[in-house]
């Protein structure tokens, strides 16, 4: 999806900075998929060095893992969460590789670079892919998606 704006609209967004409590040290507001502009408070929090064997760090990680599992299931005793560091693409690849069984089949709506990357990842993982292609500026056809999803062999 493309965002079009003129200089006045961009100026209005930049003037919203105090309202958004972004506390940025520079004038740039990044409108990209990431990394994005971060506030001074976020940057300050990230300046702390953490030792992976430190009790404070381990307690924090265990709390996050527990909260994620409790958020995702009503049976937390049956599941765990593994925190992994990486980009958004890394996260997508890890989900594709762990959530889809070997005999699974995935429908991917490809309308740009991220969809194409998902198709490539799935195929590298030997996951059967049904790909619906659309232009970046084109809305996927819901009727076509519904028709394709009638294929009961599509698991994801």
Give the separation between CA 24 and CA 137, rounded to whole angstroms: 32
- State the total domains in the chain: 3
* Local structure of residue 131 (DSSP, 8 states): E
Secondary element (H or E) of residue 7: helix 7-15
Instruction: Judge whether 21 lies within some domain.
Output: yes
The pLDDT tens digits for 85-102 are 888 899 999 999 999 998
Residue numbers of the domain that contains 104 = 87-156
User: Does 1 reside within a domain?
Assistant: no
Out of 59, 83, 107, pick the residue that ends a domain: 83
Give pLDDT tens digits for 39-81. Answer: 788 888 888 888 888 999 999 999 999 999 999 999 999 999 9
Do 78 and 91 belong together in one domain?
no
């Amino acid at each position: 999806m493309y965002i079009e704006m003129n200089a006045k609209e961009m100026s209005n967004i930049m003037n919203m900075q105090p309202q958004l409590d972004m506390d940025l040290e520079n004038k740039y507001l990044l409108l990209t998929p990431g990394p994005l502009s971060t506030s001074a408070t976020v940057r300050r929090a990230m300046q702390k060095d953490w030792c992976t064997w430190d009790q404070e760090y381990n307690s924090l990680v265990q709390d996050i893992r527990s909260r994620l599992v409790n958020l995702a299931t009503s049976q937390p005793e049956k599941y765990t969460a593994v925190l992994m560091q990486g980009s958004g693409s890394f996260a997508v690849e890890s989900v594709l590789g762990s959530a889809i069984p070997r005999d699974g089949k995935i429908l991917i709506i490809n309308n740009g670079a991220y969809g194409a990357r998902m198709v490539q990842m799935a195929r590298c993982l030997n996951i059967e892919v049904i790909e619906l292609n659309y232009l970046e500026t084109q809305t996927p056809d819901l009727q076509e998606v519904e028709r394709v999803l009638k294929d009961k062999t599509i698991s994801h």
